Structure 1
């Protein structure tokens, strides 16, 4: 896997989106809905890669077989048209490895593993290094780190930098304050791809940090339509060095961002995202426990915000 870093730099580029997982009215896995969404995201929106079975996908609410099925469906639909990075995160390391081996077998391009919860641990660096090394030694696929506050802590740049030396660590989704991911980029940006999920910061990170990868969240398919691909447009302008034009396009999306954020109930982010998808003509569906569905009043408020946001349908 020593060539993994070079391969990732060649193939992990542009906008990669995190897939929400559709469940039907009976809360069953909606495979047809997932396939339809993927075709729209890749064919109509030009999304370059998909992050599958992660937090956006309610992985904690799915069985092991369902998580594997989501990976297989995504790998099948994306084959030859878009990249895939499968979330194999779990607190049980044997489950992580089982999912990782399935990702390899079904044709995934990469996997991503979030930092584990570490109860009672005060010196995290050695624990985290050995954790990712354990995975790297047993999986034959490029691996991305993933640090976010839900783990109960965030990995420090120095901890990430040591792990970045492992041969099949290719990237990190670093959901941290900007000063932390700037520091890490300057430390290891020549070794791995550093990214974060904040869409409003994406353009600045291309210009100021030389980033090539948006990895990733749901805005790529929530603030775009087949007739209104402004995120794609400003990304391509930025990659071409036309930053003033890119900023004008990016800033024109502020009404969409504001409408989405203002209509989202604080306790129901996933249900709100899925309903917004439905307003866009995608397959949203219900959420599983412990997440909560929207009320009719919340749907009406979201619908009113959507209708006034200015997206071209």
Structure 2
């Protein structure tokens, strides 16, 4: 379960329907071209929180079919509706996903005891492993080291997707829990996570440059940190331009330019601005994406 995991992008048509063949093409690109170690399915990058339960199940099923055991799969089942989270967790577990993951419950100001019960309920109902998804910037939930300690007491909680810029907390977690999986969640800060000893990384931009992310990990493991920084600089040049043009829209358009049917985003997100197509084509050419 270590290595680089793409947070899987999901192609939609103009009506918000999943483009099955396009999804299979995106998956194949991740496996065959980017050579990632796994996929994180139905996370933020998959526009998960705008989907119906049936759509989420459809994505889980297609991804499992297309990967066919070639790489590891993590199913993000988190939802503010605990019943849905359990239903999705059972479904992904029956399909054979290697682990579940769940974003901390958001919007309402849940107590830590309520968050703990949320994870324990999903684990008990599914019997599967769980990777906590900590992303305080979007959920408003910042957990302390002591609270992580409580969650990690459950042997089924095997790790955390850590999307936070608090590297002091990251270092403390790594030192205290050498046997738990820690995934870096900020693509633009990958090298800092790698130097801190994370086990892997999960990110949306790995759909287009997962091969570069793998290089960073390998170089850090070999003690070639200076070279790894150079690769991070290249990755961040790409990321900076993608953010300027619009994150998910641009990632999909890059794949579209490459002949992969990545479709469009789901409303209420705005579709890609066709006037920016030339800039995307230049980005693909300049960085050999």
Same fold, TM-score > 0.5, yes or no: yes
Aligned to 2:164: 176
In 1, Cα distance between the equivalents of 2:172 and 2:255?
A: 34
Alpha-carbon shift at residue 71 of structure 1 (Å): 0.6
Contact 1:154/1:176 (8 A) holds in 2:
no
Contact 2:264/2:272 (8 A) holds in 1:
no
Query: Does structure 1 residue 164 correspond to structure 2 residue 142?
Result: no
Any idea what SS the aligned residue of 1:15 has?
Answer: strand
In 1, Cα distance between the equivalents of 2:109 and 2:207?
A: 39
Contact 2:6/2:205 (8 A) holds in 1:
yes
In 1, Cα distance between the equivalents of 2:235 and 2:131?
A: 29
Q: 1:277 aligns with which of 255, 259, 262?
A: 255
Contact 1:53/1:67 (8 A) holds in 2:
yes
Aligned to 2:99: 110
Any idea what SS the aligned residue of 2:70 has?
Answer: coil
Alpha-carbon shift at residue 56 of structure 1 (Å): 0.8
In 2, Cα distance between the equivalents of 1:155 and 1:293?
A: 35
Deviates more, 1:165-174 or 1:246-255: 246-255
Contact 2:39/2:73 (8 A) holds in 1:
yes
| Aligned CA distance change for structure 1 residues 218 and 137 (closer, same or farther; 3 Å) | same
In 2, Cα distance between the equivalents of 1:56 and 1:253?
A: 18
| Aligned CA distance change for structure 1 residues 187 and 242 (closer, same or farther; 3 Å) | closer
Aligned to 1:217: 203
Aligned to 1:6: none
- How many pairs align? 288
Contact 1:13/1:212 (8 A) holds in 2:
yes
In 2, Cα distance between the equivalents of 1:40 and 1:246?
A: 24
The root-mean-square deviation of aligned C-alpha atoms, in Å, is: 2.2
Alpha-carbon shift at residue 33 of structure 1 (Å): 0.9
In 2, Cα distance between the equivalents of 1:219 and 1:284?
A: 14
Any idea what SS the aligned residue of 1:251 has?
Answer: helix
In 2, Cα distance between the equivalents of 1:113 and 1:188?
A: 22
Alpha-carbon shift at residue 307 of structure 1 (Å): 5.0
TM-score, with length taken from structure 1? 0.84
Map Cα deviations across residues 218-264 of structure 1 (whole Å, 9 max, x no partner).
1212235xxxx333223222223332332333334443233223333
In 2, Cα distance between the equivalents of 1:176 and 1:218?
A: 15
Contact 1:16/1:213 (8 A) holds in 2:
yes
Deviates more, 1:148-157 or 1:35-44: 148-157
Query: Does structure 1 residue 138 correspond to structure 2 residue 120?
Result: no
In 1, Cα distance between the equivalents of 2:140 and 2:123?
A: 23
Map Cα deviations across residues 53-109 of structure 1 (whole Å, 9 max, x no partner).
111111122221111111111112223210000111111111111100100111111
Question: Which 5+ residue runs of structure 2 have no aligned equivalent?
Answer: none
Aligned to 2:49: 60
Query: Does structure 1 residue 249 correspond to structure 2 residue 225?
Result: no
In 1, Cα distance between the equivalents of 2:104 and 2:178?
A: 22
In 2, Cα distance between the equivalents of 1:300 and 1:69?
A: 33
